[in-house]
Chain A
Amino acid sequence: GQNIDQPTEMTATEGAIVQINCTYQTSGFNGLFWYQQHAGEAPTFLSYNVLDGLEEKGRFSSFLSRSKGYSYLLLKELQMKDSASYLCAVKPGYSGGYNKLIFGAGTRLAVHP
């Protein structure tokens, strides 16, 4: 089957660093996405990894290890506005390809002052 696991909830303090983990088992792999979704709003794209390693984009970084089926999203210098759900999604192999993404259930992050 296809499975993506990520923690349900996390809390962190404003100004701190938080790491949200994601593990996956899918039929083939064509890349991993992270999306941010504020309550009542549309998911918005944060990052994409298809090769092993770290991709940095401002305060956000995303890491991928294909051999371990593992990714994490690192958020630095946390701000209150970072309180949201973070969705890990995998683009599976060709049989499910094109724009089909397999999503995890999401990690709800609460940032406290």
Chain B
Amino acid sequence: KAGVTQTPRYLIKTRGQQVTLSCSPISGHRSVSWYQQTPGQGLQFLFEYFSETQRNKGNFPGRFSGRQFSNSRSEMNVSTLELGDSALYLCASSISALAGPGANVLTFGAGSRLTVL
């Protein structure tokens, strides 16, 4: 079956612009999470969506936003880009969203690499 698909894979923007990244989860997966990956910082949680509702949000400024559509596809948007937003943005999908213990395995996409000049 198809994996998690992220588009675009690479993009270059300038400071002040905005960007929209797209994620198509594995068919049947209803939970989509977004992470930012930078060298030395590792993966940092941005937000999580389940059934079109944001279930959880990381410690990022309001310039970072997202949404999920009825077909579980998700988009994230970053407005007023800053140099520090240069990173690999990873999307991960999961069948469900368990609140407690459970091996709710995340399947990651290959990411969208954003460079801000």
Could you tell me which A residues sit within 8 Å of B by CB distance? 30-31, 33, 35, 40-45, 48, 50, 87, 89, 91, 94, 96-106
Contacts and interface: CB of A to CB of B under 8 A. Distances in A.
B105 A48 contact: yes
Nearest to B33: A99
Contact of B42 (A48, A50, A87, A96): A87
**Chief secondary structure at chain A's binding surface:** loop
Q: Most chain-B Cβ atoms within 10 A of its Cβ — which of A41, A100, A102, A103? A: A100
B34 to A, nearest CB: 11
Contacts of B43: 43, 87, 89, 101, 103
Interface string B84-117: 0000001010100111111111111111000000
B42 A99 contact: no
Contacts of A89: 43
Contacts of B40: 105
A94 B98 CA distance: 10
A100 B44 contact: no
A99 B107 CA distance: 11
Given A30-B101, A31-B101, A103-B42, A98 B106 contact: no
B42 A98 contact: no
Contacts of B55: 98-99
Given A100-B48, A100-B58, A45 B105 contact: yes
